[in-house]
Amino acid sequence: MKPDNRIRSWEITSEANFVSRRRFIRDAGLAVGAALTGATALALPGRASASLRDLETVPGPFSTDETPNSWEDVTTYNNFYEFGTGKEDPYRNAQEFVTEPWTVKVGGECDKPGKYDYADIVGPHALEDRVYRHRCVEAWSMVVPWVGFPLGDLLKRFEPNSKAKYVRFKTLFDPDRMPGQRRAVLRWPYVEGLTMAEAMHPLTLMVVGVYGKELPNQNGAPLRLVIPWKYGFKGIKSIVEIEFTSRQPKNSWALATPREYGFYANVNPEVDHPRWSQARERRIGASVFAEKQPTLMFNGYAEQVASLYAGLDLRKNY
């Protein structure tokens, strides 16, 4: 664990960098360059992080001391197909998304089912800063300073019964507000699932913020999961439903391409995606000339989670 009342590493580095870089970009204002390119950096309006509220947090366990990615990387390079399939689409298309009010329907094998609004869900929990590695199935990675609380602490409050073996999560389905859902790229709504043991694991987070601020819409506001030893697509966003089940849920990517994506989706450098290698990953934010880095078993969290999968054939259960 980290000492209390430390200065959060990004407060002096990344976000400040981000702001000054933005300013430079804008001041440079090279009309010629802009006209020629419509280049990424210039085309993205500099949406201020200032409109997002600061959250009151305490330092949490399990944080890596690797340098977090910049605010810009974390909030403009996202996979969130509900807002489009391009990496910058969520940033562009999610700005008008309204997350208040927000209710979560809880049901299935538990004694406290019901409709809970955002304050009911988050209110009782202390928010923790946790800097986690994030590994996408597309072989890139980031380091992200999440804000959240252990999912297990939340799930316990719903008193799952003995038949609850899995938890199933659903994203909001509302094509009017989520333009990406107007095309049937995936089967909507997005569904993800965890075993109870995975869901109760102290690494598993219900995330409500990033960089000490409320979660930007493109990152899955207002409630999303982060399971740092699994590929990013397991981290379902904008959650509106939690259901305890006795059978293994069918998750969206496994439904879409069962040969390529499974239920477990644990980060594993030895099991390749059928179309690309998972042995190495490209760290977002690194220089264009930087080398890829080796991917770690369970994304570096093997010590904490390997025991969950003792006896399971990870090649078959990808």
Partner 1 sequence: MLQTLSPGTVRALKVLVFLLCLVPLAVLVLETFGVGGMALGANPVEELIHRNGKWGLKFLLITLAVTPLRRLTGWNWLIRFRRMLGLFAFFYILLHFLVYAGLDQRFDLAVIFEDIAERPYITIGMTALVLLIPLAVTSTRGMMRRLGRRWQQLHRLVYPIAILGVWHFYWQVKLDTLEALIYAAVLAALLGFRLAHWWRRRAPGRFSLSRSGHDRTAHARRSV
CB atoms within 10 A of CB 230: 26
Report d(CA 221, CA 275) in Å as an integer: 31
Report d(CA 275, CA 317) in Å as an integer: 17
How many residues form the binding site for partner 1 (CB under 8 A)? Answer: 37
186 binds partner 1 (CB under 8 A): yes
Of the two residues 67 and 195, which places its CB atom closer to partner 1 in the complex?
A: 67
Q: How far is the CB of 23 from partner 1 (least distance, A)?
A: 10
Q: How far is the CB of 297 from partner 1 (least distance, A)?
A: 20
291 binds partner 1 (CB under 8 A): yes
Of the two residues 184 and 310, which places its CB atom closer to partner 1 in the complex?
A: 184
- Is the distance from CB of 130 to CB of 114 less than 8 angstroms? no
As a whole number of Å, the CA-based R_g of the chain is 19
Question: Contact letters (x/-) for partner 1, 39-58, by CB under 8 A?
Answer: xxxx----------------
Question: Contact letters (x/-) for partner 1, 79-98, by CB under 8 A?
Answer: --x---x-xx----------
Of the two residues 12 and 39, which places its CB atom closer to partner 1 in the complex?
A: 39
3-state SS, residue 167:
strand
Q: How far is the CB of 191 from partner 1 (least distance, A)?
A: 15
Q: How far is the CB of 282 from partner 1 (least distance, A)?
A: 6
Kindly tell me which residue out of 13, 20, 37, 246 binds partner 1, with binding defined by CB under 8 A. Answer: 37
Question: Contact letters (x/-) for partner 1, 264-283, by CB under 8 A?
Answer: -----------xxx----x-
Q: How far is the CB of 79 from partner 1 (least distance, A)?
A: 9
Exposed/middle/buried for 18, CB within 10 Å: 0-12, 13-18, 19+? buried
**Residue (of 42, 158, 58) closest to 110 by Cα position:** 158
76 binds partner 1 (CB under 8 A): yes
Q: How far is the CB of 289 from partner 1 (least distance, A)?
A: 7
CB-side neighbour CA atoms (13 Å) of 39:
13
User: 134-157 burial string, b = 16+ CB within 10 Å, else e?
Assistant: bbbbbbbbbbbbbbbbbbbebbee
- Strand 205-210 and strand 293-294: pairing? unpaired
Of the two residues 36 and 50, which places its CB atom closer to partner 1 in the complex?
A: 36
Q: Which two tokens stand for residue 125?
A: 């929990």
Report d(CA 6, CA 62) in Å as an integer: 15
Report CA torsion sign: 224, 231, 219, 207. positive
33 binds partner 1 (CB under 8 A): yes
Exposed/middle/buried for 289, CB within 10 Å: 0-12, 13-18, 19+? exposed
Kindly tell me which residue out of 20, 51, 246, 257 binds partner 1, with binding defined by CB under 8 A. Answer: 257
Of 60-68, 122-130, 196-204, 289-297, the window that binds partner 1 (rule: CB under 8 A) is 289-297
Place of tokens 């959060």: 8
Chain residues that interact with partner 1, rule: CB under 8 A = 24-25, 28, 30, 33, 36-37, 39-42, 72-73, 76-77, 81, 85, 87-88, 138, 140, 183, 185-186, 256-257, 275-277, 282, 284-285, 287-289, 291-292
